[in-house]
Amino acid sequence: MYFDWTYLVLVLPMLIITMIAQGKVTSTYNKYSKVISRRGWTAEQAVRQILAANGLHDVTITRVAGNLTDHYDPRTNSIALSDTVYGSRSIAAIGVAAHEAGHAIQHAVGYFPIKVRTAIVPLTQFGSRLSTPLLILGLLLGFYPLAYSGILLFGVTTVFQLVTLPTEYNASRRALEALEGGYLDEDELKGTKKVLSAAASTYLAALFVSLASLLRLILIVNGRRRD
């Protein structure tokens, strides 16, 4: 029986960290979703005002099903707010929505990491579909250039995670700076910052998982090649 020590030592600990980070996001959001903003803004209203204050009148805001399915789509220049965020007046929802507004601002000012991330999305999708088949086929045939091609394609997803990290942290910083302008009180901002920090930790964990997985693949192929 083959014992894959690389998965146990490299990937599994990172997956556990990811689960802990995701649990932290859920618990932190649930806690501050019960704290209603004193100024009465809904998340959707706050986003519209933040966008207007930055001269972004062409960004559309839509409502999507789900819980924390919020995202910004640079292809359509639109912000999608989830059912649990859109009409909520909680400081957690306002923070999440403002974070997406931060992405729209990044797109408008030409923030470099988000431009890189957007540009490599097609390549990342291509790589995620083909990396594993190429790797397995290369190992089965003993044709290692093919296996290394699979590793290279997987590496594109790691680059994507790498440029995602500063993009997400920067969007949160922009969100907090915007919310200081009269949307939330100082003590409320502290709670919102905890929500956004917890969310950011999941992107850091995702990068660690991707790096560990990439190293694992390299070790596997190099080990097979030496055998």
Residue 77 φ/ψ region, left for φ over 0, alpha for ψ in the -120 to 50 degree band, beta for the rest: left
Cα–Cα distance between 114 and 71 in angstroms, integer?
13
Task: Answer for the pair 124, 160: CB distance below 8 angstroms, yes or no.
Answer: yes
Can you spell out the DSSP letters for 63-93? Answer: EESSSS--EEETTTTEEEEEHHHHT--BHHH
Q: Which of 44, 100, 168, 188 is catalytic?
A: 100
Q: Strand 71-73 relative to strand 78-82: parallel, antiparallel, unpaired?
A: antiparallel
Whether 100 is a known active-site residue: answer yes
Work out the angle between the directed axes of helices 12-32 and 186-226 (0-180°, nearest 10). 170
Q: Which residues are catalytic?
A: 100
